[in-house]
Amino acid sequence: MALTLADRRHKWDVKLSPFGFVSPYFLIFGVFGLFPLLYTAFVSLQKRNLLDAEGAQFIGFGNYEQLLFHDPYFWNSMGNTVSLWLLTTIPQILFALGIAHLLNRRLRGRMFFRMGMILPNITSVAAVTIIFAQLFGRDFGLVNWVLSWFGAGQVDWQAGTASSHTAIAAMVVWRWTGYHALIFLASMQAIPSSMYEAATLDGARGWQQFWRITVPLLRPQIIFSTVIATTGNMRLLAEPLLFNPGTAAATGGSDRQFQTAALYLYEQGFTKYDFGYSSAIALILAVATMLVAGLSYLVTRRIQTD
């Protein structure tokens, strides 16, 4: 029995069409996503300047040696990244838990409140940072005006390490807390009230119930949010870049007091055009991100479940 033309066409259709359907993704991602990523490793072993493409030289681990052992600016930027990681991740998670707890009640205008919490997250990082830079201005900033009620002096937020980190952390926390709160809220709503009733019978009150029932049951979401916040923080760039725009933008302040590692990568690659060095920073940052994300995973995994 010979196959008819239609049968044969059907056979080929079933066999090949799926590959046709997935190929746009793999083609575009392969060329513009995966290839650059792998090529970074190669570029990082070169002395390579954008303006002198012919003069690219293979120098092995020279860039890494320079970065790790002879470059205080790199370590300064890593230190700033870690400092901002601590200042952003912990408040984000704690505030988000609190807000989710408030939202997890019988509430009029539920959708209105939820939308309000997520509003910061939909605004662009560029707009947010420019607005916050104004709020944290030294002479006419709103934050300093409010502080003056309490007799606090005029803080020059951009000038110091601690003050600039606080201001940048405020932007990040403001932008992301509502997002995490909604994630927490979703799983809070799945906790049956019988668990709280039982706890009430056992004599546990509000706060105890929150820490002993709600938080442990949210462990998977807390782990997720912490890892997300961590990886997001490790590539913090727009906030420090736009916090003090002008000539010292890419250096993160006049004294590099708030230059993050991602911003240092940008400075080396796209203001000094040192592509080899910049690629080496990218790879070290990737490894550091995995380490820090792994660390925060381990810490959050220890949330008590009894």
Partner 1 sequence: MTTVLTPAAPAPPVTPGRTRRLVRRVASPWTYAALIAILAGSAFPVYWSFVVSSQTTEAVGSVPPVLVPGGHLFENIARVFDETNFALALGNSVIVAGTITVSVVLFSTLAGFAFAKLKFRGRTFLLLLVVATQAIPTELGVVPLYMMMADFGWAGQLQAVIVPGLVTAFGVFFMRQYFERALPLELLEAGRMDGCGSLRLFWHVALPAARPAAAVLGLFTFMQAWNDFFWPLVVLTPENPTVQTALSTLASGYTTDYTLVLTAATIGTVPVLLVFLLFGRQIVGGIMQGALKG
Residues 104-123 that bind partner 1 (CB under 8 A): 104-108, 111, 113-123
> CB count, 10 Å around CB of 176?
23
Does 32 engage in binding with partner 1 (CB under 8 A)? Answer: yes
Does 97 engage in binding with partner 1 (CB under 8 A)? Answer: no
Map the footprint of partner 1 across residues 11-30, applying CB under 8 A: 13-15, 17-22, 24-26, 28-29
Does 51 engage in binding with partner 1 (CB under 8 A)? Answer: no
Burial of 196 (0-12, 13-18, 19+ CB in 10 A): middle
Phi and psi of 294, rounded to 5°?
Answer: -60, -40
Does 135 engage in binding with partner 1 (CB under 8 A)? Answer: yes
Tell me, residue by residue from 238 to 267, as one string, x for binding to partner 1 by CB under 8 A and - for no binding.
x--xx--xx--x------------x--xx-
DSSP 211: I
Question: Minimum distance between the CB of residue 161 and partner 1, rounded to whole angstroms?
Answer: 22
Contact with partner 1 (CB under 8 A) among 219, 255, 288, 297: 219
Does 282 engage in binding with partner 1 (CB under 8 A)? Answer: yes
DSSP β-bridge partners for residue 57: 47
Which of 173, 171, 176, 177 has its CA nearest to residue 143?
Answer: 171
Question: Minimum distance between the CB of residue 117 and partner 1, rounded to whole angstroms?
Answer: 6
Closest CB to partner 1 among residues 9, 299 = 9
Contact with partner 1 (CB under 8 A) among 3, 61, 138, 220: 220
Torsion of CA 119, 142, 151, 153, to 10 degrees: 120
Unique residue bearing structure tokens 């952003």: 88
Does 94 engage in binding with partner 1 (CB under 8 A)? Answer: no
User: Residues 209, 127: contact at Cβ < 8 Å?
Assistant: no
Does 167 engage in binding with partner 1 (CB under 8 A)? Answer: no
Contact with partner 1 (CB under 8 A) among 94, 102, 162, 295: 102
Which of 55, 53, 75, 77 has its CA nearest to residue 66?
Answer: 75
Give dist(CA 224, CA 177) in Å, integer. 14
Question: Minimum distance between the CB of residue 269 and partner 1, rounded to whole angstroms?
Answer: 5
Torsion of CA 106, 108, 111, 117, to 10 degrees: -80
Question: Minimum distance between the CB of residue 265 and partner 1, rounded to whole angstroms?
Answer: 8
Contact with partner 1 (CB under 8 A) among 40, 49, 66, 166: 40
Does 214 engage in binding with partner 1 (CB under 8 A)? Answer: no
User: Residues 118, 179: contact at Cβ < 8 Å?
Assistant: yes
Contact with partner 1 (CB under 8 A) among 155, 228, 292, 296: 228
Give dist(CA 41, CA 191) in Å, integer. 46
Instruction: Please list, residue by residue across 93-129, b when 16 or more beta carbons sit within 10 angstroms of its beta carbon and e when fewer do.
Output: bebbbebbbebbeeeeeeeeebeebeebeeeebeebb
Closest CB to partner 1 among residues 59, 135 = 135
Closest CB to partner 1 among residues 26, 61 = 26
Tell me, residue by residue from 53 to 72, as one string, x for binding to partner 1 by CB under 8 A and - for no binding.
--------------------
Does 217 engage in binding with partner 1 (CB under 8 A)? Answer: yes
